[in-house]
């Protein structure tokens, strides 16, 4: 396994729309393993392939307390979302240190392939529903800060660019 580099907002590659995975093969399984290792190392609960500059429809999630219940979604599709909505504070490994409220569906149903290429469908609510919607946005080239006001988004962009410049100087 290998740690992958997580792209940071406002990297333009984060706006790339991911293409479907043609087949869940050893290459995709290695990507999944590397993404899980990267997510756990970064203390995240979800990671989309887009965030590691691989533009394929792959998502890994683990919201368990012990970090031992990984959920793999290949070519995920939301087949239903509840009309009920709720606002939750969200953060993102591509926008470290930034958290803000985003309104999303309270419950979703998603269909996807697992790491063996088997089709599965699951219904999610709470944190898992938020995480699925957040990671699937990445596959569409959307970062959660795009739900915020232009003023907040510009402040975050400025902060992230300054942090990158400061890091590059060191």
The answer on whether 92 is annotated among ligand-binding residues is yes
Q: What is the pLDDT of residues 38-92, one digit of tens each?
A: 999 999 999 999 999 999 999 999 999 999 999 999 999 999 999 999 999 999 9
Residues designated catalytic: 135
CATH, range 12-168: 3.90.45.10
- Assess whether pLDDT exceeds 90 at residue 11: yes
Cα dihedral sign for 27, 135, 163, 150? positive
Please, is 153 exposed, middle or buried when counting C-beta atoms within 10 Å of its C-beta (0-12, 13-18, 19+)? middle
User: Can you tell me the mean pLDDT for 114-118?
Assistant: 98
Count of positions (residues) in the chain: 170
pLDDT at 113 over 70: yes
Residue 139: helix, strand or coil by DSSP?
Answer: helix
Q: Three-state SS for 119?
A: strand
Taking a C-beta distance cutoff of 8 angstroms, is the pair 154, 162 a contact?
no
For 10, the token pair is 């406002």
What b/e string do you get for 36-54 counting C-beta neighbours within 10 Å, with b at 16 or more? Answer: bebbbeeebbbbbbbbbeb
> What torsion do the CA atoms of 36, 41, 45, 50 make, to the nearest 10 degrees?
-60
Spatial separation of the C-alpha atoms in residues 34 and 32, rounded to whole Å: 5
Domain ranges of the chain: 12-168
Instruction: Specify the pLDDT at position 53.
Output: 98
Burial of 27 (0-12, 13-18, 19+ CB in 10 A): exposed
pLDDT at 170 over 70: no
């Amino acid at each position: 396994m290998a740690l992958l580099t997580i792209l940071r907002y406002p990297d333009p590659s984060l706006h790339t729309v991911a293409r479907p995975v043609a087949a869940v093969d050893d290459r995709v399984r290695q990507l999944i393993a590397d993404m899980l290792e990267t997510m756990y190392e970064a203390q995240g609960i979800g990671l989309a392939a887009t965030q590691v500059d691989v533009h394929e429809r792959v998502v890994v999630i683990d919201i368990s307390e012990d970090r031992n219940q990984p959920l793999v979604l290949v070519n995920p599709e939301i087949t239903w979302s509840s009309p009920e909505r709720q606002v939750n504070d969200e953060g993102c490994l591509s926008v470290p240190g930034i958290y803000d409220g985003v309104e999303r569906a309270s419950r979703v149903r998603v269909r996807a392939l697992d790491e063996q290429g088997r089709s599965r469908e699951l219904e999610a609510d709470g944190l898992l529903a938020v995480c699925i919607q957040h990671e699937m946005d990445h596959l569409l080239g959307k970062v959660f800060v795009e739900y915020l006001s232009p003023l907040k988004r510009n402040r975050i962009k400025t902060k992230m660019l300054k942090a990158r410049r400061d890091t590059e100087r060191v």
